[in-house]
Structure 1
Amino acid sequence: MTIVVAYSPDRYGRAALAHGAAEATLRGEHLLVVNDTRGDALVDDRFAHEEEVARVRGRLETLGLTAEVRQEVVRDVAEGVVKAATETGASLIVVGVRHRSPVGKALLGSVAQRVILDATCPVLAVKPDEESDGI
């Protein structure tokens, strides 16, 4: 089985990665780290650069996990995460969540919320620990 982590190179993505890695270790499962972008902006702060991807791979390797990092340009990021989980028969999706204002929720929606609603497997929603910055 596979655990899918919806990853972004920020404290929320790192929290999701830490919890996903812990679950993969506990369950003895493969970890698929999904870092997709819509590709509609010149710079997407949620799309990891090569150095960040290398750091993530190195850390997961150090933890002894069998892991894959997937980066794709997709039409819809939430749909890409759910599709990855469906294609791999994932047992769990892990997403980082942040507090958002009511206006932000109404205008922008939320990738995490859409993943939670559309997923066909359990979803673990995590917030970053105040003292930690993930793995």
Structure 2
Amino acid sequence: MTVVCGFVPTAEGRAAVRAAVDEASRRGEDLVVLNTTRGDAPVDPRFATQEDLDELEAMLGESGVPFTLETRGNGPNPAADVVALATKHDASVIVIGLRRRSPTGKLIFGSTAQQILLDADAPVLAVKA
């Protein structure tokens, strides 16, 4: 089994990776981290730059947890990418970050997070920064 983590280069994304490393270590499982967006860097700020990925890879390497880092851009549905990856790897848990929301925004987590929560077969651990 594997821990799958959705990553975006934000405080919430980094919190998700830290929680995913903790989960993978505690469970004795490998970690797969995915950065996926609807666009590329000029269009979508959630697309990790090479500098973001280098920083992430260094942090993961220091963790001692076996990991794989994947990136996908220009996908029509990042949530579906995360859920499909979790299914492919028989994930024991999916870890995602959530950003702070206004009282109105709390009614809906956000389209990507909400879709992962609704569509995933594995449990989802949602963390804040």
TM above 0.5: yes
Match of 1:127 in 2: 128
The alpha-carbon deviation at position 63 of structure 1 amounts to: 1.1
Give the aligned residue type for 1:113.
Q
Match of 2:86 in 1: 85
Once superposed, which parts of structure 1, at least 4 consecutive aligned residues long, lie more than 6 Å away?
A: 103-106
CA distance in 1, matches of 2:110, 2:85: 21
CA distance in 1, matches of 2:106, 2:43: 21
Q: How many residues align?
A: 127
Match of 2:59 in 1: 59
Shift in CA distance, 27/80, structure 1 to aligned 2, threshold 3 Å? same
Give the aligned residue type for 1:115.
I
Is residue 8 of structure 1 aligned with residue 13 of structure 2?
no
CA distance in 1, matches of 2:32, 2:41: 25
Shift in CA distance, 100/54, structure 1 to aligned 2, threshold 3 Å? same
Shift in CA distance, 40/59, structure 1 to aligned 2, threshold 3 Å? closer
Match of 1:27 in 2: 27
Give the aligned residue type for 1:46.
R
Shift in CA distance, 41/60, structure 1 to aligned 2, threshold 3 Å? closer
**For structure 1, which runs of at least 5 residues remain unmatched after alignment?**
129-135
Greater fraction of residues in strand = 2
CA distance in 1, matches of 2:40, 2:17: 25
Identity among equivalent positions (%) equals 43
After TM superposition, the score normalised by the length of structure 2 is 0.89
DSSP 3-state at the match of 1:94: strand
Shift in CA distance, 57/120, structure 1 to aligned 2, threshold 3 Å? same
Match of 1:133 in 2: none
Match of 1:115 in 2: 116
DSSP 3-state at the match of 1:39: coil
CA deviations 1:94-133 (Å, max 9, x no partner) are 0111233436977x942111101110000001111xxxxx
How large is the RMSD of aligned CA atoms in angstroms? 2.0
After TM superposition, the score normalised by the length of structure 1 is 0.86
**For structure 2, which runs of at least 5 residues remain unmatched after alignment?**
none
Which has the higher mean CA deviation after the structures are superposed, 86-95 or 108-117?
108-117
